[in-house]
Amino acid sequence: TTTDVEAIQNSLWQTNRVTELKYVSKEDALEIYRERNKNNPVLLELVTANILPSSLEIATISPQDLTPIVEIIRKEPVIEEVVYPEDVVKTLASAARVIRVVGISAVSFLLLFAILAVLMIVGFKIRVQRTEIETMKLLGASKWFIRSPYLLEGIFYGFIGVLISWIFTYGIMWYVSPFIQNALGELRLLPAPPLAMLAILGVEVLLSLIVGGIGSYAAVRRYLRL
């Protein structure tokens, strides 16, 4: 009943482990069934809303929150069955931990490599343009006037690198998401929400500005003697 559904939803919200609750009525279940089997008319015969169950779809903050939520749900007398792909969730959680460790290690190495790359590129340009720098000094150019183009150039390299890599990565994710999602079945993890990808881009841009700035500043400090 509606009262049962509201009571269960309230108890789940109070755990502070749930991010989304969606009630699927018998009529909604019939629409979902028809959509999934629209290419097989035989399966649509004699199927009505009365023979399909209503359900409650639950999303949690993290995979670790699923087990306590399942325990709460199983104690409810009006719940007939709990569908919980425990093995799949455990596999995904283990894979996420490995990816996190490998990702942090790879990002740390790439950050150091990016700083060194910017340092070498900007340092090489400073050496090549030594004559122009000496001319500007003789004409009375300030230290900031001479240094600023190299500092901005390093920041620009970082920004362009991040933008290209983000577009490339998002394109690959967009292409492979349908194949991965088919393998995951009912677990809706992909495609990644556009807002989340934009947030990642914002963090990457900020980090690129810092990395490019550090690399170019180190090059200016080492190679540009004013």
Say if residues 60 and 69 touch (Cβ distance below 8 Å).
yes
Say if residues 216 and 153 touch (Cβ distance below 8 Å).
yes
CA nearest to 8, candidates 75, 53, 90: 75
Q: Taking the complete model, does pTM exceed 0.75, yes or no?
A: no
- Counting as low any pLDDT under 70, the low residues of the chain are 181-191, 226
Other CB atoms within 10 A of residue 154 CB: 27
- Helices and strands per DSSP (H, E), number in the chain: 7, 2
**Using CA atoms, how far apart are residues 62 and 111, in angstroms rounded to an integer?**
28
pLDDT of 105 reads 92
Exposed, middle or buried by CB within 10 Å (0-12, 13-18, 19+), for 11? Answer: middle
CA nearest to 89, candidates 58, 61, 56, 63: 63
Running DSSP on this structure, what letter comes out for residue 63? G
In DSSP terms, 21 is beta-bridged to: 58
**Using CA atoms, how far apart are residues 225 and 175, in angstroms rounded to an integer?**
50
Say if residues 136 and 146 touch (Cβ distance below 8 Å).
yes
Q: What angle do CA 183, 175, 97 make, to 5 degrees?
A: 55
Please measure the distance between the N-terminal and C-terminal CA atoms of the chain and give it in whole angstroms.
Answer: 80
pLDDT of 150 reads 84
Alpha-helix residue ranges (DSSP H) falling in 75-142: 86-128, 130-138
| CA 138 to chain centroid | 51
Inter-axis angle of helices 66-74 and 2-13, to 10 degrees? 150
In DSSP terms, 29 is beta-bridged to: none
pLDDT of 102 reads 92
Q: Is 84 left (phi over 0), alpha (psi -120 to 50) or beta?
A: beta
